[in-house]
A and B are shown apart, each in its own frame.
Chain A
Amino acid sequence: MRQARHPGPSLEPRRLNVKAASAGEYRLQLGEGEELHAGLLDALADLGLAHAAITLVSGRFAAFSYLTGQPDKSGARLATYGAPCLLAGPVTLIGANALVGSSVEGAPLLHCHAVVVDAEGRVHGGHLPPGACFVGAGGLVAQVLGLSGGGFAVAYDAETNYPIFHPKVIAEVSA
């Protein structure tokens, strides 16, 4: 198995675990026209959830944008994202996982990767940028596992030179 050389030193431990408990499970249905990130984060805020694991179950997008990874030629990082790829709808969801936590500033943040099929039957997938994926006709269904006691918060990772989600003990989920 090949091993990567990142710009920063390899930091111990190699795995970070935080204990959490369920803060409830919810099925959400976003209506046509909703933007994915804002729609999910607004719904979670209404439920009092700041941390969650989300599975997108089914649905369609009227417009979809994704980014895929590639080697970072600048050398600042091992891998980076390419330019966004835009797909006109209808784009059908195949599957997606998303995690919700907090940004460095404490704002809610959604990190989502998805695989979809476009109107011509081609399969695509990648990292979904905020503000660019809009729900299509029939809506979009998400299953949400709310988290309490532990969740994700962005912290700068010197090893990879990226600000990324790290497990964090959370005293209490804001109600």
Chain B
Amino acid sequence: MSAVEVEAGRLGRIAVVRIKPNEDLCRAVAAAAESEGFARALVRGAVGSLLDAALSYGADKRLDVAGPGVEILTLGGEVRPGLEGKPEALLTGTISDSQARVYGGRFLPDANPICITLELVLQEWIAE
């Protein structure tokens, strides 16, 4: 038996979003999808910055990068129903700090406040 879980589906509606300062990256991306009625969604584009950043890597390591001026270089990920059916955003990407050092990992919830803005395009994933 295959260990691969296959979900057939298609891309659906699109939301164009701005998230304002001090909102948490993961919580706000999930909330944006939920408010559009997207139970599942993909990040199709995102450009923005963080006040401070916290990324996870390894089994349980945490990297904290202090700003302000942390640039989000790339952002990818999806929104899925989490425990109790509430949408959760699983986001990964790369950032740079004010000394131009680059880091990557998975963005931790409640630990990545937006600095100036996050410009975001989300697209609904409709599982069939």
B55 within 8 A of A: no
CB pair B113 A160 closer than 8 Å? no
Task: Type the 1/0 row for A144-165, where 1 means its CB is closer than 8 Å to any CB of B.
Answer: 0101001110000101101011
Q: Residues of B contacting A88 with CB < 8 Å?
A: none
Complex formed: what's the CA distance from A1 to B28 in Å? 14
Q: Which residues of B, 88-122, contact A by the 8 Å Cβ criterion?
A: 94, 96-100, 102, 110-113, 115-117, 119, 121
CB pair A164 B117 closer than 8 Å? yes
B17 within 8 A of A: yes
A167 within 8 A of B: yes
Chain A nearest CB from B13 CB (Å) reads 7
Tier of interface size on chain B: 35 or more
CB pair B68 A145 closer than 8 Å? no
CB pair B73 A55 closer than 8 Å? no
CB pair B72 A15 closer than 8 Å? no
Chain A nearest CB from B64 CB (Å) reads 11
B81 within 8 A of A: no
The secondary structure that dominates the B interface is: strand
Q: Residues of B contacting A123 with CB < 8 Å?
A: 102
Q: A17-B17, A20-B16 are in contact. Are A78 and B35 (CB under 8 A)?
A: no
B79 within 8 A of A: no
Count contacts on A: residues with CB < 8 A to the other chain: 60
Q: Which residues of A, 1-41, contact B by the 8 Å Cβ criterion?
A: 1-4, 6, 10-11, 14-22
CB pair A68 B69 closer than 8 Å? yes
The secondary structure that dominates the A interface is: strand
CB pair A160 B18 closer than 8 Å? no
Chain B nearest CB from A125 CB (Å) reads 4
CB pair B35 A17 closer than 8 Å? yes
A85 within 8 A of B: yes
CB pair B47 A69 closer than 8 Å? no
Complex formed: what's the CA distance from A146 to B46 in Å? 14
A91 within 8 A of B: no
**Apart from A14-B19, A68-B98, A150-B16: 20 A-B pairs, beta carbons within 8 A:** A2-B52, A10-B21, A15-B35, A16-B20, A17-B16, A21-B14, A68-B99, A68-B100, A69-B70, A69-B96, A71-B67, A97-B45, A97-B74, A99-B45, A112-B47, A115-B96, A124-B102, A125-B71, A126-B71, A145-B14
